[in-house]
Amino acid sequence: MITIRSIDDLKLAKASRVFYRVDYNVPLEGSAISDATRIEATLRTIEQLRGKGASLVVASHLGRPKGERKEEYSLKPVRERLASLTGANVQWSDDCVGADAEAKAAALKPGEILLLENLRFHAAEENNDGAFAAQLRKLADFYVNDAFGASHRAHASIDALPRLFPKENTAGGLLLVKELEFLQKVTNISERPFVALLGGAKIAGKIEPLEALVRLADTILIGGGMANTFLAAQGVAMGGSLVDNESMAVAKRILHAGAKVVLPVDLIVADSLDSPTKIETVEATRGLTVAQKAFDIGPKTIERYASEVKNAKLVFWNGPMGVFEKDEFAKGTKAIARAVADAKATTVVGGGESVEAVNASGFASKITHISTGGGASLEFISGATLPGVEVLRKG
């Protein structure tokens, strides 16, 4: 069992400044935030820290600017939403290090918030650079990490920075503690039957989690583009569908691993994603024609998967069942979201697109825990060591 230092362990004084690393890597449509889940998930920690009289220096990444200042990855839209959600006058620094950031951090009064510009505007962040971490260290007396979604990365603000503080001045926020609590329900299999739902586009990047779930779960239900590859591995003709050919051998290995891996029995197919002229349901075993592409699971598969989820006591879901952004191909994902929400089970949704899908379905409030970290949650389940967690472990 992994236990980390929490904010309750910090000896905060009224003048304490906290470097608060968050994951505000929110989806944007232009400059508008389309889903503020990751910001909302940090509000309890922010409220508790401010309630103790601490001021907060908030730091995050957004997107992949690759060490360059790019306006489309600015955290300015986040500043507006954070101010709205907290009711605070969120101050702003146009850089995360340097004289301006240091001066504004030093001037903070108890309860005040300063948001720094995107950490990844500096290549040193992703390089886990010690000198860059030392510059960030000047901004605060305490360090709190709630960026679970980035905690599988050995980046400067996640790994090098907390090592520059006395251990007793570092902790995980309420969100990070909660993430570990619920994901360990999955890895420790607190309840059975345990049903895992896996979707999304490709197997690549999910190989270790898949193989871990083969060992852990009673049933694994596969959907999305990932299902195309598994079906192809069984010899099913997938037409023009997305197939992850490089992962074909992995798919065959998992299918023969002895676990109960369940694949779609029918599929929603079309001739085009953006401008379909013919949408139909086909039996998976019959295969697809060259002109057909699979974009969702079919009604028989929905019924089968929903039945498995209904009988579960523990459910883990990562990845949509189809191209849920398109109404024509969203029925599978929405139906599974309803099934997971209605299940009399501990339900954990593993971040990424799954969060957007659950929010879009309107069932988010009925899920036991929605993880803010897609890749991080999968790596944790696979048994990988998360740098951002390890540096905060007790003992």
- Same domain? For 317 and 218 the reply is yes
Residue 170 has a pLDDT of 98
117 shares its domain with 99: yes
Q: Is the pLDDT of residue 190 over 80?
A: no
Q: What percent of the chain has pLDDT over 90?
A: 78
In this structure, are residues 106 and 93 in contact, taking their beta carbons and an 8 Å threshold? no
In the predicted structure, residue 357 carries a pLDDT above the cut 80: no
**Please, is 261 exposed, middle or buried when counting C-beta atoms within 10 Å of its C-beta (0-12, 13-18, 19+)?**
buried
Residues 225 and 321 in one domain: yes
* Residue 27 in this model has a pLDDT that exceeds 70: yes
247-251, long-range: CB within 8 Å, 24+ apart, which pairs? 247/202, 247/203, 247/204, 247/207, 250/203, 250/207, 250/210, 251/203
Residue with the bigger pLDDT between 90 and 319: it is: 90
Contacts of 362 (CB under 8 A, 6+ apart): none
The residues pairing with 293 across neighbouring beta strands, listed in sequence order, are 270
Q: Where is average pLDDT lowest: 30-34, 283-287, 293-297?
A: 30-34
How many other C-beta atoms lie within 10 A of the C-beta of residue 383? 12
Out of 172, 351, 375, 388, pick the active-site residue.
375
Task: Check whether residue 211 and residue 154 sit in a common domain.
Answer: no
Q: Is 38 labeled as catalytic in the residue annotation?
A: yes
158 and 268, same domain (yes or no): no
pLDDT at 107: 97
Query: Is 332 part of the annotated catalytic residue set?
Result: no
Query: Given a cut of 90, is residue 268 above it in pLDDT?
Result: yes
- Is 258 marked active-site? no
Torsion of CA 368, 395, 7, 40, to 10 degrees: -30
**Residues 113, 194: one domain?**
no
Catalytic residue among 351, 352, 373, 374: 352
Across 305-325, average pLDDT: 94
What's the confidence (pLDDT) of residue 147? Answer: 97
Pair (159, 188) in one structural domain:
no
Identify whether 41 is part of a domain.
Answer: yes
Asked if the bond preceding 193 is cis, omega within 30° of 0, the reply is yes
* Annotated catalytic residue, options 52, 76, 138, 202: 202
- Give residue 236's pLDDT: 96
Residues 129 and 243 reside in one and the same domain: no
What are the phi and psi torsion angles at 256 (to 5°)? -105, 15
- How many structural domains comprise the chain? 2
Q: Verify whether residue 352 is a known catalytic residue.
A: yes
pLDDT of residue 258: 63
pLDDT for 169 equals 98
Residue 104 sits in which domain range?
7-174
Boundary of a domain, candidates 128, 152, 174:
174
Query: What is the structure's pLDDT at 351?
Result: 67
For a pLDDT cut of 70, what percent of the chain falls above it?
A: 99
CB 356 within 8 A of CB 27: yes
Full-model pTM? 0.87
- Per the listing, tokens 């005040």 go with 112
Residue among 224, 41, 7, 29 nearest 149 (CA) = 41
Task: State the residue for tokens 């905690």.
Answer: 151
